[in-house]
Amino acid sequence: MEGFVQAVEGSAINQWVIGTAWGWPIMEIIHFIGLSLLLGSLLVIDLRMAGFFRQLNIVATHKLLPWTFVGFGMNLVTGFLFLMGDPARYTANIGFWWKMFLVAVAGLNALWFWVKINPVMKTWEPHADTPLVAKTIAWVSLGSWFGVLLLGRLIPYIGTG
């Protein structure tokens, strides 16, 4: 990681991120909005897929997925810029690495959803209960994304421990 930190510190992107007076606060706001879109849409989708809110059409809830992708994209870009702005702080932080691990878990879980659930979901009764595999995917999604949220907030406090 030391080589990565040395390569990034002093680079043009690093200087832009830390040298712009309002850059970091604006990125924080964008990151928060992205997180709100991501978690807000996934909360509805995953809770319905977990078997709650059966009055909602299961297929209709997945029309929220574009908002999930927009939120994730906003967080991906701003998160990358945070890392480029302060690489030594993030790469030495155990909370950051656990957060990245949970993002990877969430990504693999989304792939599991795409392979196992998405092809057959349109055949389900709109207000029926969901199969166990759908519930499992939903709970893994909720757990991993809320873990990402919590660890993101704890990064300034956890340190390198």
* Confidence band of 6 (pLDDT split at 50, 70, 90): confident
Q: What is the 3-state secondary structure (H, E, C) of 64-120?
A: HHHHHHHHHHHHHHHHHHHHHHCHHHHHCCHHHHHHHHHHHHHHHHHHHHHHHCHHH
For residue 21, the SS3 value is: coil
At 66, list the tokens. Answer: 């574009």
* Confidence band of 161 (pLDDT split at 50, 70, 90): low
Taking only the tens place, the pLDDT of each residue in 83-132 is 999 998 899 999 999 999 999 999 999 999 999 888 898 888 999 999 99
* Confidence band of 158 (pLDDT split at 50, 70, 90): confident
Mean pLDDT of 67-93: 94
In this predicted structure, the answer to whether residue 21 has a pLDDT above a threshold of 80 is yes
